[in-house]
Amino acid sequence: MIELSDGKRWAVARADGWDDFIEQLSRLLPDLPLRRRQALIMLLFALTEKLMEPEDLTVWLADHDATTEEGLEQFLTWLRSFRSPS
């Protein structure tokens, strides 16, 4: 996730504008392992719904290693904490 986010709401895929963002994301998703796709979708949802701020992500990533399987599971757990209670 570190390579996908630089702390700005729509700089996630390092795209230039909306159309480029969609193109980059569409190319990126199929190549990611299932759990990483899940994390990215959860992250995008949390950001677009303003359940979190980009700065929250920047801080979390600075303190954790999401490149390992254990770190990915921690990331998914952290993302779940932003869900609205149902």
- 10-residue stretch averages of pLDDT, the chain, 86 residues long: 46 68 82 89 90 92 91 95 80
pLDDT of residue 18: 77
Would you say residue 70 lies in a domain? yes
* Domain that residue 37 falls in: 2-80
pLDDT of residue 24: 79
CB atoms within 10 A of CB 2: 13
Amino acid at 27: R
Would you say residue 85 lies in a domain? no
How many domains does the structure of the chain reveal?
Answer: 1
| 32 contacts: CB under 8 Å, gap ≥ 6 | 40
Would you say residue 62 lies in a domain? yes
Tell if the pTM clears 0.85, that is, is over it. Answer: no
Would you say residue 86 lies in a domain? no
